[in-house]
Structure 1
């Protein structure tokens, strides 16, 4: 459903909100894992009133109200109708699903209820307080903070959930909580490359070029002729490649810039067919996404995560066994994780897609 959801927002009547707190309608496209239900509940409750959730080829989970859309429904028309009803007051705003109380009890120990023995070091309400630690790059002492990211963070693949410890904007350690969800893939390599570029370019601030790529992918899928050489030239003139730091996210000898160049090279093909991206989808067996993110600035980490197609990203995000996770934690690099395991501090999910 990721392809369908992306193309849905080519319609000028819809706007994808940058934050769930700016959204009016939560559009849930496709099935949702049981493990992701609590995160979906938190996203729903973060929307301002009036609000509603709309289920597209999916079944509402526990606590959610209708409506749902059938395969015959026009999703844009359904979204418009619900939005109009909310604004006009013909439809009540959906109430909170979760209770209005902290997800974890207060666990302060200090004389004044602070988190630890003194002013620092505890986990009040299940959230660890920031503690100073040496930065990986220059050894400066900065506050380190651990938080979960995903599984509905717009700049990450759907379903991917990580627990990351950051100092400033640098990722010190990362741990996989849940792998991304499998997605449909176009048999036409040019269409696949265009859609991959459409998801990558907004990270560089090139939203207009992303829309152009997505529109071209939809036209190619419908059998319409497209001047791919022109699109490829425009993307090169945009400076997108120059904006990607060299040497980040190296897997199988290819870094982020190389993988983007491969997408651009596919647009030179004159005949439809499957692109040869086996190098992108066959990373080294020892490579893991969490290892690629460690020590990177947040902006670099997002570029790395979005430079892989979903199949490759899934192979880079294996579910670690208990002994592997324990070994990682003992060594100070908690980079494993079980698929169903929540963040240890019970924090909230960040961000989320909204219509």
Structure 2
């Protein structure tokens, strides 16, 4: 009885959703998740429902399975292909109610094994190879290199981020080498998914930046076409950040808040991101309209 009562109370909360967004669906999903009663999860660990929107390329299915594995039990997957936004919103709420009632749960899709085999590997069996090699306890070791700012020898760690990381455009995979939280090298490992022109809508572009500033409610209000309810949003973006074609991130946000469409030529993403702290890099990417990022990563295609 206590579990049933608890589940009934939980079902009244907004549906915690992590979205895996496919080609052509960015604007649809962003507008959907701004609705009352739905909540955009900050990470898969914060979600109960995985929303898979659009047809994903086959080479993205393994990454999707890794995202699914990060959702805690109980969990559910809802696929959005042809339904209206109202219909998919109802399905998301139904899935959440079933989870809260203990009716459903999804099993793991991937085997429960570490990404790097390490047990019994190396002279001590912990996956390491001497002082600096191998993958001790399954984690790659950071190797030293000169700091890009002052030349001091600091640890460098290389990781791939994407294609469904919420702070990156859908489909984009970045391979970044970090010293602390500073990007000293970046490579585009997979291009951003093509999106329709509607993804450049001023309210959506402003919402992406404002959300990264930690103002979730203000971002949702912007996407819904309302006043954000926060004072001097433009001033929350540092001056001089993200210079591109004579405009900077703060100026672009100001234009979007005024309802203006911003056009930016493709930038050299590795050069654009190098030297930025990771939080700045996410803000830099959000300060560019999707069309600019798509053209930068897919130079022969039209967004």
Aligned positions, number = 276
What is the CA-CA distance between 1:241 and the residue it aligns to? 2.8
2:297 is equivalent to residue 317 of structure 1: yes
The structure with higher relative contact order (CA 8 Å, sep 6+) is: 1
Question: Could you tell me how far apart the structure 1 residues matched to 2:136 and 2:190 are?
Answer: 25
Identify if the C-alpha distance between structure 1 residues 144 and 311 changes in structure 2 by more than 3 Å, giving closer, same or farther. same
Instruction: Work out which of the residue numbers 201, 204, 212 in structure 2 matches 1:195.
Output: 204
Partner of residue 210, structure 1: 219
Q: How does 1:76-155 map to 2 (within 5 A)?
A: 76-91=89-104, 93-106=105-118, 110-124=122-136, 127-155=139-167
1:188-213 Cα shifts (integer Å, max 9, x gaps): x8xx1111101110111222321221
Greater shift in the superposed pair: 47-56 or 311-320: 311-320
C-alpha contact 2:34 2:221 (8 A) present in aligned 1: no
1:3-50 Cα shifts (integer Å, max 9, x gaps): 221222233222221110121110111111212111100010111111
Partner of residue 46, structure 2: 22
1:307-338 Cα shifts (integer Å, max 9, x gaps): 11111101222489xxxxxxxxxxxxxxxxxx
TM-score (norm. length: structure 1): 0.70
Q: How does 1:1-355 map to 2 (within 5 A)?
A: 1-57=25-81, 70-71=83-84, 74-91=87-104, 93-106=105-118, 110-124=122-136, 127-186=139-198, 192-216=201-225, 231=227, 238-266=231-259, 275=261, 277-278=262-263, 280=264, 282-283=265-266, 287-318=267-298
Identify if the C-alpha distance between structure 1 residues 172 and 114 changes in structure 2 by more than 3 Å, giving closer, same or farther. farther
Q: Secondary structure at the match of 2:294?
A: helix
Q: Secondary structure at the match of 1:86?
A: helix
Gaps of 5+ in 1: 59-69, 217-225, 268-274, 321-355
What is the CA-CA distance between 1:85 and the residue it aligns to? 1.7
Q: Secondary structure at the match of 2:45?
A: helix
Question: Could you tell me how far apart the structure 2 residues matched to 1:266 and 1:17 are?
Answer: 27
Q: Secondary structure at the match of 1:259?
A: helix
Question: Could you tell me how far apart the structure 2 residues matched to 1:11 and 1:266 are?
Answer: 20
TM-score (norm. length: structure 2): 0.81
What is the CA-CA distance between 1:124 and the residue it aligns to? 4.8
